[in-house]
Amino acid sequence: MQRKTLTYLHLPPDADLPDLGPRPPFLAVVLAEDEVAEMWLWDVARWLVASGARYVQAWGKEAEAWIEAVDDAALEAVDYEDVSEDRRVLATAHDPDDEDVDEVFWFTKHRAAHPALLLDAVLVVHIASTPRRDAIETAYADA
């Protein structure tokens, strides 16, 4: 098992996106508990890719739309050209009707891997009106 460190970030819908600063490539888990405006969803996808996300898992409302936006943002970031394996962005959607968030976290910790990079940093982007840092960090630790 790859040891991964977790960072929690709460974003209310339509919030300004923070500068994540310099960081190595990372795995992002988007927990979309609230619906968001389509343009903001696409802005978040571009922001994740530009910030260094090389694997994005989406769970919750509109998980498929999140992945579509991430895939397009990844292509846009390289002007739709071929990309080296280390710049490749993987994306997976997880339907809350089929998987609990605990199962997503288990997959994140034990199975999610990039073909060219060791992604030992995980950013959980919690999109909800109210933060739940303790509950989400505990669920991740227990997975």
Is the pLDDT confidence value at 1 over 80? no
- Alpha-carbon distance of 18 to 49, in angstroms, equals 14
Q: What is the pLDDT of residue 61?
A: 94
Question: Can you read off the two tokens belonging to residue 49?
Answer: 């890719």
* 81-116: pLDDT as tens digits: 998 999 999 999 999 999 999 999 999 999 999 999
CA 130/CA 128 separation, integer angstroms:
5
Q: What is the pLDDT of residue 4?
A: 80
- Taken in order of first residue, the domains within the chain and their CATH numbers are 24-122+138-142 (3.40.50)
Find the distance separating the first CA and the last CA of the chain, reported in whole Å.
12
DSSP H or E stretch at residue 65: helix 63-77
Average pLDDT over residues 106-135: 95
What is the phi/psi pair of residue 56, to 5°? -125, 125
pLDDT digits (tens, 9 = 90+) for 52-66: 999 999 999 999 999
Strands 5-11 and 121-127: parallel
pLDDT of residue 75: 96
Span 3-49, pLDDT tens digits: 689 999 999 999 999 999 888 999 999 999 999 999 999 999 999 99
- pLDDT category at 2 given cuts 50, 70, 90 is low
